[in-house]
């Protein structure tokens, strides 16, 4: 492969890795936020129905 092709491939791989890391961080934040509220709602529904 030519040097330009190797450089382009490396830049594409770095971009995909960076984007994947940001997406994983966002998903983790969203799940953590939803998980906390889901537990509170679940406890309220259990306590109210007893």
Rg (CA), the chain: 22
Nearest CA among 23, 34, 2, 35 for reference residue 10: 2
Q: What angle do CA 43, 49, 30 make, to 5 degrees?
A: 30
pTM for this prediction: 0.43
DSSP structure string for 7-26 = HHHHHHHHHHHHHHHHHHHH
Name residue, tokens 């966002």: 26
Per-residue pLDDT of the chain (50 residues; tens, 9 = 90+): 899 999 999 999 888 888 888 888 888 888 876 655 555 554 555 555 54
């Amino acid at each position: 492969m030519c040097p330009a092709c190797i450089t382009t491939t490396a830049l594409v791989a770095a971009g995909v890795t960076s984007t994947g890391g940001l997406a994983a961080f966002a998903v983790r934040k969203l799940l953590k936020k939803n998980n906390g509220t889901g537990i509170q709602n679940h406890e309220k529904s259990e306590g109210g129905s007893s």
